[in-house]
Structure 1
Amino acid sequence: MLRSGLVLTFALLLGLPVNAQAEDKHLNVLFIAVDDMNNDLGCYGNTQVHSPNIDRLAKEGTCFDRAYCQFPLCSPSRTSIMTGLRPDTTTVYDLRKHFRDVIPDVVTMPQAFEKQGYFTARVGKIYHYGNPGQIGTNGLDDDASWQTRINPSGRDKQEENLIINHTPKRGLGSSLSFLAAEGTDEEQTDGMVATEAIRLMEENKDKPFFIAAGFYRPHCPYVAPKKYFDMYPMKEVPLWENNFPEVKTAPDLAFASNKPWPWLGANPQQLQEAQQAYWATISFVDAQVGRLLDALDRLDLRDNTVVVFWSDHGYHFGDHGLVMKQSLFERSARVPFIVSAPGQKKKGVHSGRTVELVDVYPTLTQLCGVEAPAGLHGESLVPLLNNPDANWDKSAITQTIRSKKRMGYSLRNERYRLVTWGQGELQLYDYENDPEEKNNLANSPDHAELLEKLMAELKQRLK
């Protein structure tokens, strides 16, 4: 009864309508993670990519148009969202360090829910896994976060010898590689993730749950059943030209995530084939998200479940001569992020406010009446769920590291991005007039005052 009262009290304070079902039990959480997915989705305005199920979720909740990761690399980003702490606190900057080695007593997001009686489970990749190398293992998981952990391994893992790799000097986990696979969705690892997550929902539908479904795609190698490749005729896939004048005005470190540059040495035709495969895997994952949403409806859980959809970071595919992640440009730092919460005042809306993945932890605990630990670095997004245009004075900080411990920081507000690599190497972009980041304004006398202001804000935020 205490827990039910907390849900009712929070909902009333927030102005959220409360139905009878919500009064009787805690809200569940279905926590859907995807790996390396950028904003090439219908709900974000991409008219080529087929994503009907993710688009359906957006119509049932709030689609955040300016959501940013804390670090455009899997493990640092996932550590931040799950602990609610920024990378400079966790000091996880690579794919090897575990946050418990630095902050052993931190209470992770699922731990906070478990402390209040929730069943907590993970299927697939939530914390870092080497993908595809560690599929089927616990990877760099956190045992304390879950009561149940399931690690599927499907046909994609078994048939790695069939994969085409256009960057053969690179391992599959960092390559432009793909396979139009035989067989069914359910035989693929991500199909198994959906199947197992649905089973957990079925078995725990009468108790409060926090179930995390972590999909491995569209991370490379880009593997999906052939039918998804057929959605994207090659003649409709962009063919890039090696023409990037922005390299003349931005620091070399801005492009250093790709060696060799451009496109890790791939040619335009190879990049085009990989782009087709990447979009195919997005549509494949979208179909698995649809299975989860259908199961919620079938089990009569939709009115009592908060659904969160997020990617650990964005992904380049040709722009700036880049592919993949680890830059501080928009396509790398920006993520798809959707929240659908029972009782939120407005649904099917977009919020243009600047939000961060560290905001997820305080948002979910507030929505569900769960006590959050002190010291979280994010802010609850509940006000934006009720009013997507609510006053919101918050910028987003994304960082990445280069060799020799050279850290770059990005400060992004609703119009501008400042990037500093130290030693006077700066970038400044005005997205209202330059959405493709072609013109670095850092040395423009007309923008000197703005640059100084944004630098002061970043230094204050990093204290």
Structure 2
Amino acid sequence: MIKKHCIYLLLVFLILSCAKQKTEPKKKPNVLFVSIDDLRPSLGVYGDTIVHSPNIDQLASEGITFRQTFAQSAVCAPSRASLMTGLRPDSTRVWHLGDKFREINPNTVTMPQYFSKHGYYTVNLGKIFHNYMPDSISWDEPDLRPSRYLKPDWIGRDGETFYISEEVAKSQEIKRDSLLKLRPIRYADGWNTGPAWEAADVHDTMYYDGAQNKLTKNVLTRLAKMDQPFYMGLGFFRPHLPFTAPKKYWDLYDKNKIPLASNPKIPKDAPIHSMNSMYELRHYDGFNHIGHPTSAFVMPEDTARTLRQGYYASVSYVDKLLGDLVNHMKDIGIYDNTIIIVWGDHGWKLGDHNSWGKMTNYNIDLKVPLIIRYPDQINRGTQTHAFTELVDIFPSLCELANIPVPDYMQGTSFVPLIENPKRKWKKAAFSQFHRRPRVSADGKRYMGYSINTQEYHYIEWYGWDPKKGERGEYKTAELYDAINDPTETVNIVQDEKYKVAIETLSKQLNEGWRNAKPSL
């Protein structure tokens, strides 16, 4: 009798459990949205044999790696404004570092803002928009910072500008006071001075990214207890200049064994205005003398090797921090139900084209890493070489989170590509760059429009009216053979045998992204 009663209770329990599962909707996945500043595809999963990136590589083995992702502009503010709004630069009208999307269009709806409208609790740590532009409208909790960095005088200061050395810190204060007297509004609030690298023998949390990572763990622990799904924007500052990371990450590399850039010269027959002036690196101690890439200046080999070592060390530092974060998510039970996306906002030249930095239309600056791992993903550890763009992220995350995709998106959800990485996809990827007179080798203003196809990379340069935001007359063009010259060493636009290809590419470029969309 007792046995029958127990079986009856068990059946009732199973029936009630099944009924509960049918009536309760599946909990929406969380979103961990990870930006790594200035990260080019220098990762093991992208075939880089020098870098130590085991944690990002492990994440990629559990998700999908996009091998041909392009930024819409190879500089921070335009790239991030495009990605975060799902609109391209000519629509956001954010073309260079000083443009602020919220001032240009106060009614802009950003990705976290949109997720918030669909039930997500949104939190921001670090650099998601350009520098410290927390955009409080986008977040329930904007601009969370480690407590020791909450000094009133540091509100406008970037996390990338902190050093361990007290001597450097004092020097920064003196220089900043002088700079602000000359002009009160400055990049990084005037703190972006000091050496281009530092390798202090300290714990990970002594540098800003490590301190921020510790805070992120605490915030995730708190968010895990909420009934509401969260969207967390986490922006790491490294490997942006200066290359400051704990010494143990520098020690992973022998700088004399790190190969130098394979394309150390500006492209042959390229227009002089195609290159940026390297003013970013020139801000740091000992580099104010460096010339324009189009000049006779060449970085001394030992310095070049140290810069490359510092970049790699910074990548490995962030890799370790991200690995710690993933382990913490597993410990608190939220890893399996979280979409994790890792992306770089643009590439970075490490001596490529006789240059250091970004800010060109060349693919060394346009190509970025993009890795996604999400709940219930069927195909794991896959890769695709199909064209994707950063502007595709907004609609893709909406689809993965099962919320409506806004009808004004100028990117394409790549979820179908995740499900079938080898399917036919976009015909091309589109980018652009605004070359301003003060950084142009010829002192003139241009807008360059870029199209990448499987066979070619084609760029057209126009004059530009900054007040109207309109392009002027055609100036010149560039053409690179993507198959036989992937590092873009020779501009072949004047070669007669490519005349038909150029006509086709020019037409495709001017028809724009809408005509390159995949058939879904």
**TM-score exceeds 0.5:** yes
Matched letter for residue 151 of structure 1: R
Does 2:275 match 1:255? Answer: yes
Alignment of 1:148 onto 2:141: yes
The one of 160, 164, 178 equivalent to 1:159 is: 164
Q: 1:77 to 1:298 in 2, by over 3 A?
A: same
1:294 paired with 2:327, answer yes
Alignment of 1:234-383 (within 5 A): 234-239=255-260, 244=265, 247-258=267-278, 260-262=291-293, 266-383=299-416
Are 2:249 and 1:228 aligned?
Answer: yes
* Distance change in 2, residues 1:430/1:183 (3 Å): same
Contact 1:346–1:385, Cα closer than 8 Å, also in 2: yes
Deviations 1:245-269 (A, max 9, x none): x543111122234362339763222
Asked if structure 1 preserves the Cα contact closer than 8 Å seen for 2:160 and 2:242, the reply is no
Compute the displacement of 1:156 (Å): 6.7
CA contact (8 A) 2:388 2:426 kept: no
Does structure 2 retain, via aligned residues, the 8 Å contact 1:107–1:373? no
8 Å CA contact 1:176, 1:274 repeated in 2: no
State the 1:175 CA deviation: 8.7
Query: 1:180 is matched by which residue type in structure 2?
Result: A
In the other structure, the counterpart of 1:184 is 203
CA RMSD of aligned residues (A): 2.8
CA distance in 2, matches of 1:391, 1:242: 31
**What pairs with 1:192-203 in structure 2 (closer than 5 Å)?**
192-203=211-222
1:158 to partner: Cα distance = 4.9
1:243, 1:314 → 2: CA distance? 16
- Residue 45 of structure 1 is matched in structure 2 by 47
C-alpha displacement at 1:366, in angstroms? Answer: 0.8
Q: Distance in 2 between matches of 1:270 and 1:361?
A: 39
CA distance in 2, matches of 1:326, 1:279: 20
Q: Distance in 1 between matches of 2:68 and 2:237?
A: 23
Q: How far has the Cα of 1:302 moved from its partner?
A: 2.3
State the partner residue of 1:119. 121
- In structure 1, give the amino acid aligned to 2:507: A
> What is the alpha-carbon distance in structure 2 between the residues aligned to residue 83 and residue 268 of structure 1?
41
For residues 248 and 160 of structure 1, the distance between their equivalents in structure 2, rounded to whole angstroms, comes to 42
TM-score, normalised via structure 2 length: 0.78
- Note the alpha carbon deviations across 1:56-101, whole angstroms, 9 max, x for none: 1111111110001111111111111111111111111222222122
Deviation of 1:157 after TM superposition, in Å, equals: 1.4
Contact between 2:344 and 2:368, CA under 8 Å: does it hold in 1? Answer: yes
How far, CA to CA, are the matches of 2:127 and 2:452 in structure 1?
28
State how far apart, in whole Å, the 2-side matches of 1:421 and 1:382 are.
33
Aligned runs of 1:418-457 on 2, under 5 Å?
Answer: 418-422=458-462, 423-457=474-508
| 1:324–1:256 Cα change, 3 Å | closer
Match of 1:6 in 2: none
Whole-Å Cα distance in 2 between the matches of residues 327 and 101 of structure 1? 25
Residue matched to 1:460:
511
Instruction: Give the match's secondary structure for 2:422.
Output: coil
Give the partner amino acid of 2:450: S
Structure 1 segment 213-224 matched on structure 2, within 5 A: 213-224=234-245
* In 2, Cα distance between equivalents of 1:193 and 1:118: 22
Is contact 2:65–2:384 with CA below 8 Å preserved after alignment?
A: yes
TM-score normalised to the size of structure 1? 0.87
Superposition deviation, residue 311 in structure 1: 0.8
Amino acid at match of 1:426: A
Once the 2 structures are TM-superposed, how far is the Cα of residue 371 of structure 1 from its aligned partner?
2.6
Distance 1:239 1:382, change over 3 A: closer
Change (3 A) 1:240 1:447: closer
Distance 1:314 1:396 in 2: 15
> What is the CA-CA distance between 1:383 and the residue it aligns to?
0.7
Shift of 1:163: 6.1
1:411 counterpart (435, 442, 451): 451
For 1:383 and 1:243, how far apart are their aligned partners in 2? 39
Q: Which runs of 5+ in 2 are unaligned?
A: 1-20, 150-158, 180-186, 280-290, 438-444, 463-473, 515-520
Cα deviation code 1:329-351 (max 9, x no counterpart) = 11100101111122222111111
Q: Distance between the aligned counterparts of 1:394 and 1:54, measured in 2?
A: 29
The residue type paired with residue 255 of structure 1 is M
- Whether the aligned pair in 2 keeps the contact of 1:197 and 1:211 (CA below 8 Å) is no
**Where does structure 1 lack aligned partners over 5 or more consecutive residues?**
1-18, 130-138
**Shift in Å, 1:370:** 1.7
Shift in Å at residue 162 of structure 1? 5.6
- Contact map agreement 1:175 1:220 (CA 8 A) in 2: no
> Max radius of gyration: which structure?
2
Distance verdict in 2 for CA 1:381–1:247, change over 3 Å: closer
Q: 2: distance between equivalents of 1:288 and 1:180?
A: 17
CA distance in 2, matches of 1:172, 1:313: 23
- Matches of 2:193 and 2:399 in 1, distance apart? 37
- In 2, Cα distance between the equivalents of 1:141 and 1:323? 28
Aligned length: 433
CA distance in 2, matches of 1:267, 1:211: 42
Q: Secondary structure at the match of 1:303?
A: coil
3-state SS of paired residue (1:426): strand
- Structural mapping, 1:86-97, within 5 Å: 86-97=88-99
Distance 1:248 1:50, change over 3 A: same
- The answer to whether the Cα contact below 8 Å between 1:76 and 1:94 also exists between their aligned partners in 2 is yes
| Paired residue type of 2:200 | A
Q: Report the alpha carbon displacement of residue 303 of structure 1 after superposing the two structures with TM.
A: 2.1
The verdict on how the C-alpha distance between 1:453 and 1:390 changes in structure 2, with shifts beyond 3 A counting, is same
Residue 102 of structure 1 and its aligned partner are, at CA, apart by 2.0
